[in-house]
Amino acid sequence: MKGILLIAFLMPLFVSAQNCELKKEKDPFTQQPQLSTGFLRLSSWGGRFSLNMVADAKEVKLLFSLGEGNCFDDESSAAFTFDGTRTKSTQKNATAMNCDGIFTIVFRNSTSTPSVLQKLTQQKLTSIVLTDSNKKKIEVNLKDEEKQQILERIGCLVKEAKTLIQ
């Protein structure tokens, strides 16, 4: 009986490990290995919102793409809201001014995971609110299956990113 319970509790660990499909590439500039989740198109915000997560030996990046016409600068921010809590996490855009709709958050890839990135691997996101260079708020409310996909992909990428550290 204890063996059956042990298997039942461990099964989700093996199931989520099987969903870890990352693209292994070489950075075109440094020729160093990098991992990518590929773009995840989210139906929220008219289906024009997508997320790609990339990791190399130094950084883990979250790349949000909203399409041309959305301008972001170094004062732009993203506010993450998590399931089951009222706390928010706000991160700044890490790229230069652009009107291509690209918003990037960069975390350092190290043996200890930054707290915000750790939270993204443990709790489902409810919504993401991006503030553009004109202070306009773009709210993206996530569906349940999107929340799960993001949680799994970030968890997988963060785990595998540690193997790239030299």
Class of CATH domain 2-164: mainly beta
CB 73 within 8 A of CB 97: yes
pLDDT digits (tens, 9 = 90+) for 40-52: 998 766 667 899 9
With a CB cutoff of 8 Å and minimum separation 6, the contacts of 40 are 50, 51, 52, 146, 149, 150, 153
Q: Structure pTM? A: 0.83
- pLDDT at position 57 over 50: yes
pLDDT digits (tens, 9 = 90+) for 129-150: 999 999 999 999 999 999 999 9
Q: What residue ranges do the domains of the chain occupy?
A: 2-164
Q: What is the DSSP letter of 143?
A: P
pLDDT digits (tens, 9 = 90+) for 68-104: 889 999 999 999 999 988 889 999 999 889 999 999 9
